[in-house]
Amino acid sequence: MMPIDLDRLRLIKAQPTDSPTQPKLHHFLKGPVPLPWLNTAGRLPGKALHVGVYAWYLAGLNRSMQVRISAHGLQQIGVARHAGYRAIWALEKKALISVERKRGCSPIVTICRTNH
């Protein structure tokens, strides 16, 4: 009887990680995300919902409600830099987030868990 090569039968090949201490990235939104928060963000113009969901994603990834939203991060989700900054402003105006801004730096966003 021939031995079975299990690696040949795998659907996904296991790939070694870069570093054992590197945090594992997840590709899902960690919740709970309050539905009223999403409903309010969804009614805002432009890319506000996209940026809001991205902020929640970063919050789950970093285990912190305070996250830095960079131009590079916005680009990765398909949002132009200026559209992203307008979205941040719209979310801030509705009190869904608070923002710390410093000239020349990416804004630091704190997600507010208010009831809307």
pLDDT, tens only, 9-42: 667 655 555 555 655 566 788 889 999 999 999 9
pLDDT of residue 7: 73
* 60 vs 37: CA distance, rounded Å: 16
pTM of the model: 0.76
To the nearest 10°, the Cα dihedral for 11, 58, 21, 15? 20
* 12 vs 18: CA distance, rounded Å: 18
pLDDT digits (tens, 9 = 90+) for 75-114: 999 999 999 999 999 999 999 999 999 999 999 999 998 7
1.10.10, 1.10.12, 3.90.1150, 1.20.140: CATH of 31-111: 1.10.10
Query: How does DSSP assign 48-69, residue by residue?
Result: HHHHHHHHHHHHHHHTSSEEE-
DSSP helix/strand/coil, 112? coil
The answer to whether 75 and 47 have CB atoms below 8 angstroms apart is: no
Domain ranges of the chain: 31-111
Residue 44: pLDDT band with limits 50, 70, 90: very high
